[in-house]
Structure 1
Amino acid sequence: MSRPEHQAPPEIYYGDTEARKYTAKKPALILDIGCGSGLSGEILTEEGYEWVGFDISPSMLSVGLERDVEGDMMLADAGHGCMFRPGSFDGAISISVLQWLCNADTSYNAPGSRLSVFFTTLYASLTRGARCVFQFYPENDDQVQFIMQQATKAGFGGGLVVDYPNSVKAKKIYLVLWVGGEMMVGPNGEGQGVKQQLPQALEHEEANVARHEQRRVRDDCHERNKKKKKGETVKQYILRKKELDRARGKTNVPRDSKYTGKKRRRK
């Protein structure tokens, strides 16, 4: 990441967005592994987190770019590792990725090697005390044990959480991992005296409440997006998003011109 003084003059760099950062609690930076089109990233944004995601599918990422999600997304294969600086992220999430790393679709894609590289590099890219939550669809119990063994070898602690274990449709399996010792760690590396433990699994009587909460979050995101664009012309919307990207220090923002927001004629 480039230095602030290389991005813009101080009176521009320290605009409204940066000024608020100095008076607000620093949000955690989350890694979304297999971010797809950014659906889970939208929930992270809604909850006040900053996030970076990667996915192996160019088509999924293209949809995310079209939807103009707030996080940064990149094309990458989890089986090749998480190539980020050590201690870059405060946590990680993943939906429906782990079982794909167990799929030997080519002669050189050995599941053991891919999982080992993935968990080892992920462990290094997380801060001490960070947590990861993987929701996945294992083929059988042996595959679950195989994945957990690779995670343990990389240094992770944690275990399995199964929501609605007696339901065929609602059953969800999560691998919950943490980095470092058994104690939670504060933002400055200080121990908080709270022991790391697995979250309580949801039971059947909580299923309706959980579904209602998920629906509420989706509806809130939809309403927020509608309000964001209400009364705005296409050109105003594009200019506003460009200005936001410039304030964030992005260097590949297209220049404004008289053609901004205008439909192009097909040749």
Structure 2
Amino acid sequence: MSRPEDTLPPDLFYNDAESRKYTTSSRIQSIQVEMTHRALSLLGLTSPSLILDIGCGSGLSGEILSSVAPPLGGPHIWIGMDISASMLDIALQRDVEGDLLLADIGQGVPFRAGTFDAAISISAIQWLCNAESSDTSPQGRLARFFNGLYASLRRGGRAVCQFYPKNEMQKSMVSAAAIKAGFGAGLLEDGAGTKNVKVYLVLSVGGGAIEGVVEGMEGVDVEERMGRKGDGRKRGEEVGKKGRKQWILSKKEQMERKGKIVKRDSKFTGRKRRVQF
């Protein structure tokens, strides 16, 4: 049986009929409730928070965010983003309490820096592992997503992304992209070794590795993260003259961290044009 993400892009796969089928399935509703509560327990929120629901769909997870009250107050406030207009239309029909945004997470997370206290994502980010055209790549889409998510969370904030990796390579690719963006990260697998295994990527901003949820991270190369966040260069230190290759690469890296789309590096990056007579 083929996986949905292997057939069509999400905005085409989740048309009106498929979105309604997904939303009304009692089995899917039950699984969604279970995974959303699990994600909330991993976030460990003790007071009402502003939460970003990534790939919110028709608002199944959002309903739980609106109803769960942390120990120190009322329910959470949430904003949902999804690429499927059909899913968001059903969410509006169901009169969910969160605000909704039509957006492609593979193009970044378009919110002001430090907006959210936390974020959750249920069964969404595996869609980023598929290139949708020759102009995109899974690595590029994952980088834009995690860089944008990192910027949108306040310092000390957390995110929990439940996803279904196709294989170990996808699991490592997703984890490495999160670490490269600057997150402290850990993987947790519920039901490991069974066909119902559920993988949770637990992320923190401004912290180290997540205690107690580091299983499955052995194959992830953390050296790239150190090159970005801890390369020993002080703030404002010279990275080369303006216009030189190192300066251009540094600026492109800064734009990627903000979730901006930048052109790929090539052998011509930073090369001077020959003077024409």
Class of the TM-score when normalised by the shorter of the 2 chains: 0.5 to 0.7
Q: Which residue of 1 aligns with 2:78?
A: 51
Alpha-carbon deviations, 1:75-121, whole Å to 9, x = none? 00001100101100000000122111110121112111111111111
- SS of corresponding position for 1:54: strand
In percent, how many aligned pairs have the same letter?
55
Alpha-carbon deviations, 1:166-200, whole Å to 9, x = none? 321x3111111111024xxxxxxxxxxxx952459
The answer to whether the aligner puts 1:175 opposite 2:175 as a matched pair is no
- SS of corresponding position for 1:86: coil
Tell me if structure 1 keeps the 8 A contact 2:51–2:76: yes
Structure 1 segments unaligned to the other structure (5+ residues): 1-24, 183-194, 202-267
Q: Which residue of 1 aligns with 2:170?
A: 143
Aligned counterparts of 1:196 and 1:146: Cα–Cα separation in 2:
18
Aligned counterparts of 2:92 and 2:154: Cα–Cα separation in 1:
28
- Taking structure 2 as the reference length, the TM-score comes to 0.57
Aligned counterparts of 2:76 and 2:158: Cα–Cα separation in 1:
14
Tell me if structure 1 keeps the 8 A contact 2:187–2:214: no
Q: Which residue of 2 aligns with 1:41?
A: 62
Q: Which residue of 2 aligns with 1:7?
A: none
Tell me if structure 2 keeps the 8 A contact 1:58–1:75: yes
Evaluate the alpha carbon distance shift between residue 163 and residue 88 of structure 1 in structure 2; reply closer, same or farther with a 3 A threshold. Answer: same
- SS of corresponding position for 1:122: helix
Select which of 89, 92, 109 maps to 1:82: 109
Aligned counterparts of 2:126 and 2:164: Cα–Cα separation in 1:
6
Give the letter for the 2:168 counterpart. Answer: D
Tell me if structure 1 keeps the 8 A contact 2:186–2:210: no
Evaluate the alpha carbon distance shift between residue 198 and residue 85 of structure 1 in structure 2; reply closer, same or farther with a 3 A threshold. Answer: farther
Aligned counterparts of 2:212 and 2:154: Cα–Cα separation in 1:
19
Give the number of the structure with larger relative contact order, counting CA–CA contacts within 8 Å between residues 6 or more apart. Answer: 2
Q: Cα RMSD between the aligned structures? A: 1.8
Q: Which residue of 2 aligns with 1:125?
A: 152
Q: How does 1:88-103 map to 2 (within 5 A)?
A: 88-103=115-130
Aligned counterparts of 1:145 and 1:125: Cα–Cα separation in 2:
23
Structure 2 segments unaligned to the other structure (5+ residues): 1-45, 69-74, 216-277
Tell me if structure 2 keeps the 8 A contact 1:176–1:198: no
Alpha-carbon deviations, 1:232-265, whole Å to 9, x = none? xxxxxxxxxxxxxxxxxxxxxxxxxxxxxxxxxx
Aligned counterparts of 1:200 and 1:51: Cα–Cα separation in 2:
28
Q: Which residue of 1 aligns with 2:211?
A: 197
Tell me if structure 1 keeps the 8 A contact 2:185–2:214: no
Tell me if structure 2 keeps the 8 A contact 1:130–1:178: yes
Q: How does 1:118-267 map to 2 (within 5 A)?
A: 118-168=145-195, 170-182=196-208, 196-198=210-212
Give the letter for the 1:78 counterpart. Answer: I
Aligned counterparts of 2:51 and 2:127: Cα–Cα separation in 1:
21
Report how many residues are paired.
Answer: 164
